[in-house]
Amino acid sequence: MLPVAALSIGPAALIARLVRAETARELGKDYVRLARAKRLPAARVHLRHVLPNALTATLTTGGLLLGGLIAGSVLVESVFAWPGLGMRMTEAITQKDFPVAQGVILVYGAIVLVVNTAVDLALAVLDPKSTIKES
């Protein structure tokens, strides 16, 4: 429990704070008041109107937090002696086994690339107005 808590408490608090602030900001906008004036159900207002607009900043921040989580996982695996890619990378560096270290770094880089691409695709689906259109 302690390694997971050490790795996840900070980013979870940041994401929760961001979701709360973005949701409060979106709830005060005119289109939400209009939806409420039309007597739409609260669940529909929150899920259809507020959630997609509040998630854009959250997804962007979550994608950026991934790099810090990967660096934190290397540290947590070393401190708590958990077997994993981070532990293998630190062992490879201390034993000067550079091809293994480069391979692990390449895997971590590929993971970050895939997650950032998924975040960009999710943002394009959630907010199609923000994508650049050709003239």
- Residue span of the structural domain in which 40 resides: 2-130
Distance CA 58, CA 120 (A): 12
Q: What is the tally of structural domains in the chain?
A: 1
Note the pLDDT of residue 86: 87
Q: pTM here?
A: 0.75
Note the pLDDT of residue 1: 87
Examine residue 59 and state whether it is found in any structural domain, yes or no.
Answer: yes
Give me the mean pLDDT over the 105-120 stretch: 90
Examine residue 135 and state whether it is found in any structural domain, yes or no.
Answer: no
Q: What is the DSSP string of the chain?
A: -HHHHHHHHHHHHHHHHHHHHHHHHHHTSHHHHHHHHTT--HHHIIIIIIHHHHHHHHHHHHHHHHHHHHHHHHHHHHHHT--SHHHHHHHHHHTT-HHHHHHHHHHHHHHHHHHHHHHHHHHHHH-GGGS----
Phi-psi category of 133—alpha, beta or left, where left has phi over 0 and alpha has psi -120 to 50?
A: beta
Residue 107 — pLDDT band, cuts 50, 70, 90?
very high
Examine residue 76 and state whether it is found in any structural domain, yes or no.
Answer: yes
Q: Could you read off the pLDDT of 42-92 as tens digits, one per residue?
A: 999 998 888 888 888 888 899 889 888 888 888 898 888 888 888 899 899
Residue 34 — pLDDT band, cuts 50, 70, 90?
very high
Note the pLDDT of residue 133: 56
CA 50 to centroid of chain Cα atoms: 19
Q: Could you read off the pLDDT of 1-31 as tens digits, one per residue?
A: 888 898 899 999 999 999 999 999 999 999 9
Examine residue 100 and state whether it is found in any structural domain, yes or no.
Answer: yes
